[in-house]
């Protein structure tokens, strides 16, 4: 009887060890949802990647080490990107970060421009950017425009359906691309007009 009991105990232990090991390497439900969401994004010309960006909301304590050395805190997030359809020289280049606002439901943003042209963009451009911010999915912590693509940076919402999240993402990035291409063409036309010699020159 003792041998049978011992055998049952040993078999149970082996089963728990094997099952526990297999379960530990299987992706969680949330991980599977995120995987399906990111795979579906490719069908719409969107790409995703894990990135590290500046943590503009880090506390002063996080910006200095114990030995007094200043550091630039980073945070991990996911970048959803969409490239410009064609080569677009002179598109605006900037990045804006969402700031933590404790006493308000409104999101404040901190803008970082990378070119002199971006600094001189008209107010109507930034008003349109503000409108686009309200279109993209929630949990956005930054939006970036590079010479080749536009990017939403943040954390996906796996509780929503893939269609809803991707539709909002695609609409927001498409409108930002359209805005940047339009402003680039306007500035190019103005520069060509100014460079054209007048008959009175």
Residue of higher predicted confidence among 66 and 175 = 175
Residue of higher predicted confidence among 90 and 181 = 181
pLDDT score, position 172: 96
Residues 5-39: tens digit of each pLDDT = 666 656 666 655 555 444 445 557 777 777 888 88
pLDDT band at 126 (very low <50, low <70, confident <90, very high): very high
User: What is the reported pTM?
Assistant: 0.75
Q: Show the 3-state SS of the chain.
A: CHHHHHHHHHHHHHHHHHHHHHHHHCCCHHHHHHHHHHHHHHHHCCEEEEEEEECCCCCHHHHECCCCCECCCEEEEEEEEEECCCCCCCCCCEEEEEECCCCCCCCEEEEEECCHHHHCCCHHHHHHHHHHHCCCCCCEEEEEECCCEEEEEECCCCCCCHHHHHHHHHHHHHHHHHHHHHHHHHHHHHHHHHHCCCCCC
pLDDT at 199 over 60: no
Structural tokens at position 45: 């010309």
Are β-strands 149-154 and 108-113 bridged in parallel, bridged antiparallel, or unpaired? unpaired
pLDDT score, position 86: 83
């Amino acid at each position: 009887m003792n041998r049978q009991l011992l055998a049952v105990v040993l078999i149970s232990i082996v089963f728990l060890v094997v099952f526990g090991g297999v379960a530990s390497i299987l992706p969680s439900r949330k991980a599977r949802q995120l995987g399906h969401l990111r795979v579906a994004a490719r069908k719409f010309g969107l790409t995703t990647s894990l990135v590290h960006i500046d943590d503009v909301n880090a506390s002063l304590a996080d910006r200095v080490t114990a030995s007094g050395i200043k550091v630039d805190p980073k945070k991990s997030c996911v970048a959803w990107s969409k490239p410009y359809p064609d080569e677009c020289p002179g598109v605006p280049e900037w990045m804006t970060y969402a700031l933590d606002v404790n006493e308000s439901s409104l999101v404040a943003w901190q803008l970082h421009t990378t070119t002199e042209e971006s600094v001189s963009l008209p107010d109507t451009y930034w008003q349109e950017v503000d409108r686009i911010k309200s279109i993209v999915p929630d949990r956005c912590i930054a939006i970036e425009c590079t010479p080749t693509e536009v990017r939403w940076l943040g954390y996906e919402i796996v509780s929503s359906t893939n269609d809803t999240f991707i539709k909002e993402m695609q609409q927001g990035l498409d409108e930002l691309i359209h805005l940047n291409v339009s402003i680039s063409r306007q500035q190019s036309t103005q520069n060509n007009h100014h460079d054209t010699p007048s008959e009175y020159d």
